[in-house]
Structure 1
Amino acid sequence: MDSPARFKDLCLDARDHQALADWWCRAMGYRRRVGPSGPRPASDPVPLVDPAGAGPALWVNRVIEDKVVKNRLHFDVDGDVEALLALGATLVRGRDEEIGWDVLADPEGNEFCVFAARRSAG
């Protein structure tokens, strides 16, 4: 039997959606998706895509309120914690005897978990 739903995109709210879209592009290597009529108006949500086509699309949506509580849903990424911190992420919780990953937050406070980057077999 077919499922009634499947993932289409991931969405992330931000007060400064343009700046946060740029940050996630630098962090993940994503690119802004440009439509056939060119760039979208600055007030519109910003669609981001993985140029390799492997990752899901990410929409960064403008909201007027600040983030005030812990995310109920978050991203897990394979990555380099030090490089992400250098880009402007903040360390929320470092890996320790309880957890084998680091919890970071993007510049607007959205939490994400960072696992050691996977190495390709070669």
Structure 2
Amino acid sequence: MPAQFKDLVLDATDHHALADWWCAAMSYRRKDELSPPEDGWVRPVEWPVPIVDPEGAGPLIWIAPVQETKTLKNRMHLDVFGDRDELVALGATVVRRRDDEIEWDVLADPEGNEFCVFAPR
């Protein structure tokens, strides 16, 4: 086996704010909140922020700090089940609404990372 899936990573110029946004959008939590290190160690603020599904169903997502802003379309993106209007109220922007050609909405998070939103199951 050449590779096995591990985690997802999103780049962000404000990785803490984007981690908080995705936590609110997907009911995720910062990993360190759910399982703090026993020795009192604190993750340095400049390090990537791991966020997790507290139910354990979704993948671990790292929000990694980068200096450059997003300028081009993502070559890889997230697909989520959710409510477009609720995500927009949290700060997402609509890139393309579902229509006769596509059965999902394309949104962008506050840093411009596109993701597709499918109607809730």
Fold shared, TM-score > 0.5 on shorter chain: yes
| Corresponding residue of 2:110 | 107
State the percentage of identical aligned residues: 66
| Corresponding residue of 1:86 | 89
Deviations 1:56-83 (A, max 9, x none): 0000000000000000000000001110
- 1:33-52 matches, cutoff 5 A: 33-34=31-32, 35-36=36-37, 37-52=40-55
Deviations 1:24-65 (A, max 9, x none): 000001110114144411111000010000000000000000
- 1:1-122 matches, cutoff 5 A: 3-34=1-32, 35-36=36-37, 37-118=40-121
Gaps of 5+ in 1: none
Runs of 4+ with deviation above 6 angstroms: none
TM-score, L = length of structure 2: 0.93
SS state at 2:8 partner:
strand
Gaps of 5+ in 2: none
TM-score, L = length of structure 1: 0.92
